[in-house]
């Protein structure tokens, strides 16, 4: 028999070693990608269009496409997720309809991305005639994003103490005003974490985009701000290869002599951008939260 | 536990001006009948204490008075305020709560600055004038005996306040709405004795202008501050009288046992 003190020691040791293994794997992967990739990142690499056959191509358009797609996806999915999250957390009665909705959301979030991609291809690209376009890609990604964001917003709202709801209602505020003015601001940090997580997934997604946003990055004019113009960088109807798709493509069918270094550099850029987005979102979230709550 | 008769009751009927009253109030949580036929009259500008053991239904009863129990239970019977039964579907509960405000057991300041905690609801109700808002902030904090402690920190977060200060801020927040009736659900039970004393002092100040109904576990507190006291037992109101009578000369055996500590 071991006593309480010993078993505590053993348990602590086991937990520490598991955490150690996880951290080791993370550091190894990230470190490898960054160490191998960063030497290939240069100003030219970031500002030149990709080359199909010659060496020396950059990732300018792919990088922009990834960011644009992320923004579009969030614009489409966030309002829906916010609405359904508020409904599930604040209004839904605990009955079979609600639990069916919850189950459906969970199933949706675990759909294989290839399936979502092919579904998007058939429905949006072919049936709705959107063609290979950023818009079709953004809608397909919304399918991933919605369940994650919805559950996240629901949980963030639900974790705000009921005391806060009582406080708002007891002061004669309507349910809606209590939610929007008291509960939502208090849930903001959690919601921002959810956006960051889902953004990471959107940014790294390739399979669903191959069939929807397409694999080509036509040359666009970064000075044309008219989203209706076919050569405008803001045109949501143009095909758009993203960074993750580019990495996949360069690796599978790349014929440029420097395909390996492009893929290494692009991977490093991908990770750095996600990291930057993460930091930026947290910083912005903190600012907004402070503004709304006066916690200094 | 000794069985007490629910038939034997001593409920005072008042002849003075009332702030509100309930007639045969019943509360059901699903199939669970939690409150039976509570008929109580609350005198204007007096403090009424609701006492009783845990689970006796006093908090449930209190939360009915401004319809805060609507979401979780079914409430039957009449709640009469300003000659109107406010326990009707057609009543605007948000309007009711402007007149009958509530302070809860655990301090629940908003995650906003001290000033905004008070002005927030006022602004929501359409008071935009900066001078009026500033005046309400000061007067409500003064009546909650908090002004001197926070007057230089009005823009700091209310979350940084101590428990006692936060609870007084919550009282100030309710007072700033200038309600008629202030409902307090064990407002001092989570606080230390010094903070409790300050809350009691605050309530004494407030009773000139407001009708106060307070749920409390603390019988000394009830005897110190309340003019009238109601004793709740297992969902029934068994006795309601002047506080003095309740504590020195209770008519009902259950009340006597409860206040003398021979209970349960």
B95 touches chain A (CB under 8 A): yes
What are the pLDDT digits (tens) for A143-184? 888 999 999 999 999 999 999 999 999 999 999 999 999 999
Looking at every residue in chain A, the average pLDDT score rounds to 88
* Token output for A141: 């990604």
Q: In whole angstroms, what separates CA B127 from the centre of its chain?
A: 25
d(CA B210, CA B43): 10
Q: Which residues of A touch B158 (CB under 8 A)?
A: 294
Continuous segment of H or E residues that includes residue A38: none
Instruction: Describe the strand order of the beta sheet including B32-43 as a list of residue ranges.
Output: B32-43, B18-29, B74-81, B84-85
Condensed to tens digits (0 to 9), the pLDDT of residues B5-37 reads 887 888 888 888 889 999 999 999 988 898 998
Residue among B94, B111, B157 minimizing CB distance to A185: B111
Whether B240 has a pLDDT exceeding 70, the answer reads yes
Q: Tokens 């001092």 label which residue?
A: B188
Asked whether the beta carbons of residue B110 and residue A167 sit closer than 8 angstroms, the reply is yes
Span B44-102, pLDDT tens digits: 999 999 999 888 899 999 999 999 888 888 899 999 998 899 998 899 999 999 999 99
* Torsions phi, psi for A46 (to 5 deg): -85, -20
This complex has an ipTM of 0.86
Place of tokens 């006492």: B51
**Closest CB to A177 among B108, B109, B124:** B124
Helix ranges (H only) for chain B are 58-65, 93-99, 114-124, 130-143, 147-150, 163-176, 193-206, 219-225, 243-248, 253-260
- Summarised one tens digit per residue, pLDDT across range A56-88 is 788 888 889 999 999 999 999 999 999 999 999
Q: Note whether A94 contacts B: Cβ–Cβ < 8 A.
A: no
- What's the burial of B264, exposed, middle or buried (CB within 10 Å: 0-12/13-18/19+)? exposed
> B-chain residues within 8 Å CB-CB of A294?
112-113, 116, 155-158
Phi and psi of B228, rounded to 5°?
-130, 150
B190 in contact with chain A, both atoms CB, cutoff 8 A: no
Interface size, chain A vs chain B, as Cβ–Cβ contacts under 8 Å:
74
Give the residue on A whose Cα is nearest the Cα of B156: A294
**B111–A170: do the CB atoms touch at under 8 Å?**
no
CA distance A160 to chain B (A): 11
The pTM for the full model equals 0.82
Q: Are A229 and A127 in contact (CB under 8 A)?
A: no
Residue B45 burial class via C-beta count within 10 angstroms: exposed 0-12, middle 13-18, buried 19 and up: middle
CB atoms within 10 A of CB B82: 10
Report the pLDDT value the prediction gives residue B119, as an integer from 0 to 100.
93
CA angle A117, A121, A126 (to 5 degrees): 175
Residues of A in contact with B109 (CB under 8 A): 167
Tens digit of pLDDT for each residue in B161-210?
998 899 999 999 999 999 999 999 999 888 888 888 988 988 988 888 89
Does B186 reach chain A within 8 Å, measured CB to CB?
no
Please give the residue of chain A at the shortest CA–CA distance from B100.
A170
Residue B144, chain A, CB below 8 Å: the answer is no
Q: Do the strands B47-52 and B211-215 form a parallel or antiparallel pair, or are they unpaired?
A: parallel
For residues B69 and B64, give the distance between their C-alpha atoms in angstroms, rounded to a whole number: 5
């Amino acid at each position: 028999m071991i006593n309480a003190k010993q078993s505590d020691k053993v348990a602590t040791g086991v937990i520490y070693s598991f955490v150690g293994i996880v951290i080791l794997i993370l550091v190894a992967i990230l470190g490898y990608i960054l160490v191998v990739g960063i030497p290939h990142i240069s100003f030219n690499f970031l500002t030149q269009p990709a080359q199909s056959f010659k060496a020396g191509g950059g990732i300018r358009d792919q990088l922009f496409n990834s960011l644009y797609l992320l923004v579009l996806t969030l614009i489409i999915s966030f309002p829906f997720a916010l609405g359904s999250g508020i409904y599930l957390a604040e209004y839904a009665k605990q009955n079979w309809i609600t639990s069916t909705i919850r189950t459906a959301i969970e199933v949706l979030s675990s759909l294989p991305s290839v399936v979502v991609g092919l579904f998007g291809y058939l429905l949006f690209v072919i049936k709705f005639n959107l063609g290979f376009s950023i818009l079709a890609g953004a809608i397909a990604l919304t399918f991933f994003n919605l369940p994650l964001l919805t559950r996240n917003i629901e949980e963030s709202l639900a974790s705000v103490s009921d005391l806060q709801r009582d406080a708002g209602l007891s002061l004669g505020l309507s349910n809606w005003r209590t939610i929007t003015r008291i509960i939502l601001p208090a849930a903001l940090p959690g919601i921002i974490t959810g956006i960051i997580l889902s953004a990471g997934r959107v940014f790294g997604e390739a399979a669903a985009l191959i069939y929807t946003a397409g694999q080509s990055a036509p040359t666009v004019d970064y000075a044309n701000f008219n989203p209706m113009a076919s050569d405008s960088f803001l045109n949501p109807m143009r095909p758009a290869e993203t960074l993750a798709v580019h990495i996949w493509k360069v690796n599978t069918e790349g014929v440029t002599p420097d395909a390996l270094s492009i893929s290494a550099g692009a991977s490093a850029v991908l990770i750095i951008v996600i990291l930057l987005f993460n930091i930026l979102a947290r910083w912005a979230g903190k600012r907004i939260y402070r503004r709304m709550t006066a916690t200094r | 536990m000794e069985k007490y008769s629910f038939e034997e009751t001593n409920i005072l009927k008042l002849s003075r001006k009332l702030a509100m009253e309930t007639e045969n109030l019943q509360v059901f949580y699903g199939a669970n009948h939690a409150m039976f036929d509570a008929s109580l009259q609350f005198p204007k500008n007096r403090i009424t204490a609701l006492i009783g053991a845990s689970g006796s239904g006093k908090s449930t009863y209190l939360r009915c008075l401004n319809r805060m129990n609507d979401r979780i239970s079914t409430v039957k019977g009449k709640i009469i305020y300003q000659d109107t039964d406010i326990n009707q579907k057609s009543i605007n509960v948000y309007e009711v709560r402007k007149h009958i405000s509530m302070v809860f057991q655990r301090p629940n300041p908003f995650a906003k600055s001290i000033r905004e905690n008070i002005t927030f609801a006022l602004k929501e109700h359409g008071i935009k004038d900066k001078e009026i808002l500033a005046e309400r902030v000061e007067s409500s904090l003064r009546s909650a005996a908090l002004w001197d402690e926070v007057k230089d920190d009005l823009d700091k977060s209310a979350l940084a306040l101590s428990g006692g200060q936060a609870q007084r801020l919550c009282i100030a927040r309710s007072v700033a709405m200038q309600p008629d009736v202030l409902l307090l659900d064990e407002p001092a039970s989570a606080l230390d004795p010094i903070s409790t004393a300050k809350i009691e002092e605050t309530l004494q100040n407030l009773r000139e202008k407001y009708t106060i109904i307070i749920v409390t576990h603390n019988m000394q507190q009830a005897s110190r501050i309340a003019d009238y006291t109601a004793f709740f037992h297992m969902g029934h109101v068994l006795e309601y009288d002047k506080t003095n009578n309740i504590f020195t000369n209770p008519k009902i055996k259950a009340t006597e046992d409860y206040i003398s500590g021979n209970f349960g």
